[in-house]
Amino acid sequence: MTRRCWHESDVRLIERAWYDDGVVAGGARALLAPVEALYATGVSLRNALYDAGRLAQHGTALPALSVGNLSVGGTGKTPVAAWLAQQFVTRGASPAIVLRGYGSDESLVHERLNPTVPVIISPDRVAGSARARAAGADVVVFDDAFQHRRASRLADIVVVSADQWARSRRLLPAGPLREPLRALRRATLVLITRKAASPEAASTVSTEIAGVAPAVPRTLVHLALDMLRSATDTDAPRRIASLAGSAVLAVSAIGNPRAFAAQLEAAGARVQSAPFADHHAYTGADALRLARAADGFELVVCTLKDAVKLARVWPRQAVPLWYVSQQLVAEHGGAAVDAALQTVLDARPLHT
C-alpha cells in the first residue's frame, strides 16, 4: 500500500474538500454550494450564448484540433495533446501546439516530447494560431481549449480519466468539474484515459458517457509506463521492470498523484508518495527537503511534468532522480481518432 509523505497535510486542501467523505469535507462542500450554483449559472449562460450565435466564434489562421477536459487536471490531457501532434507529424503535416501557458510545466513537457514542433504560448488561441502559421505550421493543436469557444476548431477532443471518474461530479469550487457532463455532447470525440484503472473500469466509464452523449464516439487509451529515464541525463534508461522490489519515493505535482503511485506499485515498487499541488513550481528548498526525505530509498521517481522543473534544482549528491515516460496505447475506438485527425488534415492550405 502507498504510504503518504510527511508533508502531504500541507497541500491539496481544496482537493480534500472535493473528494473526502468526512464531515469536515462535506461541510466545506455545503458552504461552497451557493458559489457552485452561481458558477453553474454563468457557465450555462455563456454556453447558451455561443450555441445561439450571440457570442461569435472566430476563424483561425490554420485548421485546428482542440484537446481539453471537463475537470481540473489529472486526465492526461497534455500527453494526449503531444501524442496527437506526433500523429500529425507521422501523417506528413507540420503541427504547432498552442496553449495558454498556465504554469511552466506544460510547455516544457511539449518541448521535450516533440522537440521539432513549435510551442506557442498565447491565452488568445486565435492570435496563437496566426503565430503558428508564421512559424511554418500548417495545423494547430490547442492544448486545453474545450472551454475556449471563441476560437473555432474542426475537431474537439475531450479527455476523461477513468481513474478519477467516480470521485466527484460537483462543479467548481465545490468539485473539480469546469462544466457539467452534458457538455460532452458538443465534443467531436471523448477520449477515455486509464493509468491504474482496469480495462473493465474504462469500459464502464465509456458506457456511462454513452448515456450522457450517445452521439459522440469514444476512444479508450491506456497511458502505460514506458521507460525509467534519468531526469538529470546522468544514467542510461532502465526498464520499468527494474522497479520491482525497490523502495521508491514517488514525487508528483499532478492532478492525480494516486494513479501515478498505483502505477509504480503495479510495477512492483514499494512506494511512499510525496505529492505537491498540481503545477507546483519546485524550489531549491523543496528539492533539499525531498533529498533528505529520500534517505533510505533506492530511487526518487517523478513524472516528466515534474522532471522538467525539479531536475534543475535537484542536489547533485542526492539520491538519483528519475522520471517515467509514458506510452499511449489506443485499446478501443482508434478509428475515431484517425477520423478527427483526417478532418483537420483535409483542411490544410494547399501546397503548404
Give percent of the chain above pLDDT 90: 84
- In 10 A of CB 213, how many CB atoms? 18
Residue 336 and residue 218 in contact, taking contact as beta carbons nearer than 8 Å:
yes
d(CA 56, CA 149): 9
Q: pLDDT tier at 102 (50, 70, 90 boundaries)?
A: low
Rounded to an integer, the average pLDDT of 31-58 is 97
Distance (Å) of CA 110 to CA 101, 117, 270, 333: 11, 8, 30, 25
> Measured between alpha carbons, how far apart are the two ends of the chain, in Å?
54
Give yes or no for residue 351 having a pLDDT over 50: no
Hey, what amino acid is at 102?
Answer: Y
Question: Per-residue DSSP letters for 215-228?
Answer: TS-EEEEEEEEEEE
Greater confidence (348 vs 10) lies with 348
pTM for the predicted model, two decimal places:
0.92
d(CA 118, CA 342): 21
Q: The C-alpha cell of 50 is what?
A: 455561443
Amino acid 59: pLDDT: 97
Chain centre to alpha carbon of residue 63 = 23
Rounded to an integer, the average pLDDT of 291-303 is 95
Q: The C-alpha cell of 40 is what?
A: 453553474
Name residue 119's beta-bridge partners: 97
Give percent of the chain above pLDDT 70: 95
Q: Which of 164-173, 204-213, 263-272, 301-310 has the lowest mean pLDDT?
A: 164-173
Buried b or exposed e, range 12-41, using 16+ CB within 10 angstroms: bebbebbbeeeeebeebbeebeeebeebbe
> 229, 306, 308: which is closest to 275 by C-alpha?
306
Rounded to an integer, the average pLDDT of 247-261 is 93
Query: What's the sign of the alpha-carbon dihedral 174, 178, 180, 181?
Result: negative
Question: H or E element: which one contains 274?
Answer: strand 270-275
pLDDT averaged over the chain? 93
DSSP, collapsed to helix, strand or coil, labels residue 73 as: coil
12 phi, psi to nearest 5 deg: 60, 35
Give yes or no for residue 103 having a pLDDT over 70: no
Give 3-state DSSP helix, strand, coil % of the chain, rounded to 5: 40, 25, 35
Give yes or no for residue 6 having a pLDDT over 50: no
> 159, 155, 147, 158: which is closest to 95 by C-alpha?
155
Residue in the block written with cell 490547442: 142
